[in-house]
Structures are given as C-alpha cells and as structure tokens.
C-alpha cells in the first residue's frame, strides 16, 4: 500500500475504535452510482434502461464478485415503478466474509430471477438501473474499514465495466454521475439500530442537521433547495415546518420517560420529513424504512428496518471521500448517543439560501461540527478531514502583492418549472438551471470592494474571510423563466491592491462561441476547455467602476436584477 492509503486505513481504524469504546453500534450502507461518460444515449442521460446498460451492469457485478469467497452473481427481481410495464433488471452478488473461493460465474441468463429476500445470510449487494446511471446498493457494513474496502472494489469493478463516477460537460466542467450517492445508517438488526435503541437520537439528528446547514449542502449535488431530491424541512411547506418543533419536543419528552417505541417515532416524523409534494422518499432525512408497517416485500418487514437514509449526498469521485463522509455521520450519531442535543430549531429565513450558498460559510459551519465532535471525544483524524474538504470544487486563485482573491463555484437553488404535483411521478424534476452563482472572497489583506461587471460590490465578513456571492444567467432556457432576459457571459471581476489592478473573465462557454466538436475525451482535454474559459490580465493602476450593484441579500448580488447595457 502507498503511504496515503496506509494512513487512510489507520484513520478508519481509529474512527471504528472510538465508536467501539463507547459501545455505539452504527452500521452504514451506501448507493454509489456510475455512468458511461462517453455516451449521450438516453440510457446514460435520463432513461432507466436501454443501450448497453444491462451488459455493463452485469460486467460490474461479475468484476466485483471476482476473487470474493463463495461469490455468486444472479439475476434478481428489480423494482417496478408505477409508470413502468415491467420490473427493471437487477443483478445480485452474494458472498461470504471467509471460506471457500469464488463460484464459477454465468451468462446473464444462467440464474433464475428471484427476490433478494430469498437469499438471507452472507453478504448481499445488488446492481440496478436508475435514470442515466447504474446504481450499486452496497452490502451494509459494521465498520468504516469494511465500507472503504467494499467501495474500493466497487469503484474498480465499475472502471473495468467502462463506467465512471463522474462525467464531462461540453465546456470541460467535471460533474458527478448524476445519480447521487446516498448513505443509510442503522444496525445489524432493526432492534439494534441506534435510532431504535436510543429513541432520543433521531429527534436530535433532525435538530443537529437543521442547526448545521453544511451537512445539507457541503456534500450535495448541484441541484439543491426545495426542487431537489433532498430538501430540508425548512425549504418546504411553512405550516409543516412550524409543526416540526412541536413534534420534536413531544418525542423527546416521551424518550425521557422511556415511552417512545419506534412505531411512534416513525408516525410522528414521517409526515413532516418530506418534500414539497409530501413524498417521504425525496427528503433530506428519509425515514420511510425506519419503522414503516406499510412497506413490505415478499412477506418481509421491508419498511421496519431501523434505517435512516441521508439523501443530500452527491456521487463522490473516489471511495475515500465516501468512507470519510460515513465516518462523519457515524460520529455525529455517536455524539448524539453520548450527550443530549436539544438546541432549538433555527429558522434561517432568507439567510439559508443567501449566506449558506457560499462555500466560505459552509466551511466555517463544517468546522464547527468537527469542533463539536472533538469536544465529545469523537474527533475526525486529519486524513479524513482532508477527504471531507474535497467534496466542494476548488476555485481560481489570483494574487496582487500580499493580497489573494479567490473565485469559487457556489450553490444555486434552481426553481422548479411548473408545479410539484405534475412532476411527482417522474424520475426527475424539471428545473430552470440557467442561473449560476460564484463566491468572490479575500482571506486576509485586500480591498473592501471589488468591481463586478463594471459596478462596485462590497465584501461581507464571514469569519476570517470576506466574501460576496454573485449570481448570473448563463443561458436562456426554453422552457424556463424570464424569456429574453439577457445572458451575462463573461462574468467580469476587477480588483486593485497596492497600485496594481487585475481583470478576471469567467466564461461559461468557449469565448469564441460556437459548438464544441464532441465531449471531452479525457481529463487533459476537459482541463484545456476549462482553462480557455478563464482569462486574467494584470496592469498598473486602479479599477474604475460605475455605481454599486443593488444587493439581493446581505451576501449576494444578482446581476439579472439590473443588467447593464
């Protein structure tokens, strides 16, 4: 092993030992998703099945099973959705933690289709299709060391099948596969789940995530907010949000009296932890498999599993990032087990989508979370902290003397086009993604204001940094909002310090215009396309600007509100 891999393995062992010392058992599972980055076929851009998806899913399953003890790959019954005429295909991999070598594996149709519940015992992983991706439902793991090892094997198997956790956009941007990478937390049995064994923990987790927006946004995909697949409770129906504090206080009172069975916990939270349409599956904290008597499959207690799913998770580029995230949330659950957390819910109002759109604000909040874990003896080793920081994209760094200006991609909360009900049965929802947000920040010395598109914008204090968010339109959607509202491309940022001035142009598309000939073929070509969209010019002198931008919020200016001629 390399030194880095060895250090990571040691960090996972330290984390697992910290939880074991406190007698806190938290099993973890995940659902990584992979796509074929070189294809624009519907199966790899928005449809569940088609093209060569079945063959590549089978190749992933067989590559994963290779050399595992007693491994067997078989066809199983996939999930059938309301608008689909037949169940989707699925492959299952069954293996043992030790024992004999692998079984000889079959053409695709060599095994009869059967439900996974008929294969109780051993380890079980499934490979299924989802819109645009192949999804791997990992076998639950008692330790993060086990999760990391399984994830390494999955990423390797996906690469052998020609599948990737990321894909390129035409302009060279690198994005995740598009299918998400949710985490599930529970126990070896439903009754041993920390949310069942310690009934106060789930209400505390709801409070903790509300108080720390970094847990909602730092690890999330591009699509966040009320139209996303993982909205926070305070991004939905106002009346439902008002009821959440009442529900949590009552549940905590019952827990203190030892009168909170799991069915009551589920009944109280299931109607409140939902999306804008009332869908419990599409919520940031998904409790539909906590203790739900209405979800059953083949006579099993499929809904009463003691599970809580964390959905505000994009597909990470590498296994270590996923394992570090699992460590973070296992540590948070353990922290809530060993010490009560009864902080009031925070009604962030506009600040939620203003301040916490900015990576500087999210990073500061994440550090508060890590500090809280330190105080409770559940701190994260340095290697794992580095993997957590890697979840947000890096930016563009500019220097003038002893001042450093950084431009980083920020979050944008794309609105739903149309109503939720009309899109409820769809695999994905249609949003207006024409708006892009950047953070412009100074860490340390530098000017109090910068020029954006020829007008001044003031930087706001965010801990040690000073920053401002800048929203712009990068294309005219059809259908979408604001017909004929002009595009701002490039985004022009100018600043001066110590008698020197700098002009930065950020283009969303190639500066010369026109189409790209094809998708980027590799990292080098994608990097070259990104580089040609950044232009920096430095000169002597100061910056001249014409007036000030009106503020859309304390931390954000919106270039669409008062466009310049």
Q: Report residue 499's pLDDT band, with 50, 70 and 90 as the boundaries.
A: very high
Mean pLDDT of 243-250: 97
% residues pLDDT > 70 (the chain): 93
Q: Give Dmax over CA atoms of the chain in angstroms.
A: 76
Mean pLDDT of 319-344: 97
pLDDT in tens, 267-295: 999 999 998 888 888 899 999 999 998 87
- pLDDT greater than 50 at residue 128: yes
% residues pLDDT > 90 (the chain): 79
More confident residue, 113 or 429: 429
CA 177 to each of CA 25, 33, 43, 152, 338: distance values in angstroms, whole numbers, following the listed order: 31, 7, 13, 17, 37
Identify the CA nearest to 314 among candidates 325, 329, 330, 303: 325
Least confident interval from 203-207, 210-214, 427-431: 427-431
Under 8 Å between Cβ of 128 and 135: yes
Q: Report residue 565's pLDDT band, with 50, 70 and 90 as the boundaries.
A: very low
Least confident interval from 180-184, 355-359, 532-536: 180-184
Q: Report residue 108's pLDDT band, with 50, 70 and 90 as the boundaries.
A: very low
pLDDT of residue 296: 62
Joined together, the tokens standing for residue 149 give 């090892």
Mean pLDDT of 294-299: 62
pLDDT of residue 121: 59
Mean pLDDT of 212-233: 94
Pair type for strands 491-497 and 500-506: antiparallel
Q: Report residue 430's pLDDT band, with 50, 70 and 90 as the boundaries.
A: confident
292-297, Cβ contacts within 8 angstroms, sequence gap of 24 or more: 292/266, 293/263, 297/115, 297/117
pLDDT of residue 114: 38
Q: Report residue 79's pLDDT band, with 50, 70 and 90 as the boundaries.
A: confident
pLDDT of residue 282: 86
pLDDT in tens, 129-180: 999 999 999 999 999 999 999 999 999 999 999 999 999 999 999 999 999 8
In terms of C-beta density within 10 A (0-12 exposed, 13-18 middle, 19 or more buried), how is residue 156 classed? middle
Q: Report residue 113's pLDDT band, with 50, 70 and 90 as the boundaries.
A: very low
Distance in angstroms (rounded) separating the CA atoms of residues 274 and 26: 24
Mean pLDDT of the chain: 91
The whole model's pTM is what? 0.93
Distance in angstroms (rounded) separating the CA atoms of residues 38 and 36: 6
191 Cβ contact list (under 8 Å, min separation 6): 197, 306
More confident residue, 6 or 350: 350
Distance in angstroms (rounded) separating the CA atoms of residues 148 and 33: 16
pLDDT of residue 112: 36
Q: Report residue 31's pLDDT band, with 50, 70 and 90 as the boundaries.
A: very high
Q: Quick count: other Cβ atoms within 10 Å of Cβ 466?
A: 21
Distance in angstroms (rounded) separating the CA atoms of residues 21 and 17: 6
pLDDT in tens, 311-324: 999 999 999 999 99
pLDDT of residue 167: 96
- pLDDT greater than 80 at residue 115: no
pLDDT of residue 59: 98
More confident residue, 298 or 246: 246
pLDDT of residue 99: 43
């Amino acid at each position: 092993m390399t030194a880095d891999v060895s250090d990571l393995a040691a960090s996972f062992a330290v984390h697992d030992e910290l939880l074991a010392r406190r007698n806190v058992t938290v099993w973890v599972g995940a659902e990584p998703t992979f796509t074929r980055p070189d294809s624009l076929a519907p199966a790899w851009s928005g449809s569940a099945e088609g093209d060569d998806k079945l063959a590549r899913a089978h190749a992933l399953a067989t590559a994963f099973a290779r050399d595992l003890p007693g491994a067997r790959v078989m066809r199983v019954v996939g999930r059938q959705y309301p608008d689909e005429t037949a169940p989707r295909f699925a492959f299952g991999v069954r293996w043992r933690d030790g024992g004999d070598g692998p079984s000889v594996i079959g053409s695709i149709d060599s095994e009869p289709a059967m439900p996974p519940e008929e294969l109780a015992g051993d380890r079980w992983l499934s490979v299924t299709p989802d819109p645009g991706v192949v999804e791997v439902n990992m076998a639950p793991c008692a330790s993060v060391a086990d999760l990391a090892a399984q994830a390494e094997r999955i990423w390797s198997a996906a690469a052998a099948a020609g599948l990737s956790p990321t894909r390129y956009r035409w302009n060279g941007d690198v994005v995740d596969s598009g299918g998400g990478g949710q985490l599930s937390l529970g126990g070896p049995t439903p009754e041993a789940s920390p949310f069942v064994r310690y009934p106060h923990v789930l209400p505390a987790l709801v409070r903790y995530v509300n108080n720390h927006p970094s847990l909602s946004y730092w690890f999330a995909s591009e699509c966040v907010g009320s139209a996303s697949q993982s909205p926070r409770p305070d991004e939905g129906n106002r009346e439902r949000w008002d009821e959440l504090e009442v529900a949590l206080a009552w549940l905590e009172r019952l827990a203190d009296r030892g009168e909170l069975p799991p069915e009551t916990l589920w009944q109280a939270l299931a109607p409140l932890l939902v999306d804008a349409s009332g869908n419990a599956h599409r919520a940031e904290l998904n409790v539909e498999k906590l203790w739900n008597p209405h979800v059953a499959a083949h006579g099993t207690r499929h809904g009463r599993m003691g599970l809580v799913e964390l959905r505000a998770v994009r597909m990470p580029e590498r296994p270590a990032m996923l394992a570090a995230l699992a460590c973070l949330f296992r540590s948070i659950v353990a922290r809530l087990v060993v010490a009560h957390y009864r902080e009031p819910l925070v009604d962030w109002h506009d600040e939620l989508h203003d301040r916490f759109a900015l990576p500087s604000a999210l990073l500061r909040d994440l550090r508060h979370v890590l500090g809280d874990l330190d105080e409770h003896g559940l701190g994260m080793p340095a290697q794992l902290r580095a993997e957590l920081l890697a979840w947000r994209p890096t930016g563009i760094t500019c220097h003038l003397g002893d001042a450093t200006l950084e431009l980083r991609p920020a979050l944008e909360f794309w609105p739903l086009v149309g109503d939720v009900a009309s899109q409820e049965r769809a695999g994905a929802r249609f949003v207006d993604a024409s708006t892009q947000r950047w953070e412009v920040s100074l860490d340390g010395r530098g000017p109090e204001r910068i020029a954006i598109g020829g007008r001044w914008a003031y930087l706001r204090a965010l801990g040690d940094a000073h920053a401002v968010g800048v929203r712009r339109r990068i294309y005219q959607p059809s259908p979408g909002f604001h017909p004929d509202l002009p595009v701002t491309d490039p985004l022009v940022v100018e600043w001066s310090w110590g008698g020197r001035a700098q002009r930065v142009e950020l283009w969303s598309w190639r500066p010369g215009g026109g189409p790209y000939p094809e998708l980027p073929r590799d990292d080098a070509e994608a990097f070259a396309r990104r580089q040609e969209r950044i232009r920096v010019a430095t000169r002597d002198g100061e910056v001249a600007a014409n007036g000030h931008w009106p503020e859309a919020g304390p931390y954000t200016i919106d270039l669409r509100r008062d466009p310049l001629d």
